[in-house]
Amino acid sequence: MLVDDLRFDSALSKNQVQAGGMLLEKIREFLSTLKIALPPKNEFMKIVGDAYDLYVAPIDIPGVPNLVEPWVDNALKAILLQQASRLYDQFAAA
């Protein structure tokens, strides 16, 4: 993929959602040319969850009391896993 392939219409510079969708589509097109098989979804979700536990969860969140922080971490992990699942589904459908 050439660098020029990632150029977007300058009119999208104020619409991050549309520009993000275009970027996702460009990535999907590029990955489809590579013919790389995705890992099974449960394996992918385990990798994402383990990465969160290893790299993100240990970070102290400023302004969040230590008593509440485990709940915040669980909520953030749930959001991350939900988005990772959606992203996986998007790429698996391509």
Q: What is the pLDDT of residues 46-64, one digit of tens each?
A: 999 999 999 999 999 899 9
Give 63 or 10, the one with higher predicted confidence.
63
Q: What residue type is 67 in one-letter code?
A: L
Q: How far is CA 82 from CA 3, 37, 47, 48, 90, in A?
A: 30, 21, 14, 11, 12
Average pLDDT over residues 18-40: 78
Question: Over 80: is that where the pLDDT of 20 sits?
Answer: no
Give 15 or 70, the one with higher predicted confidence.
70
Rounded-to-integer distance, Cα 32 and Cα 25, Å: 11
Cβ–Cβ < 8 Å for 50, 59: no
Rounded-to-integer distance, Cα 28 and Cα 92, Å: 10
Full-model pTM:
0.67
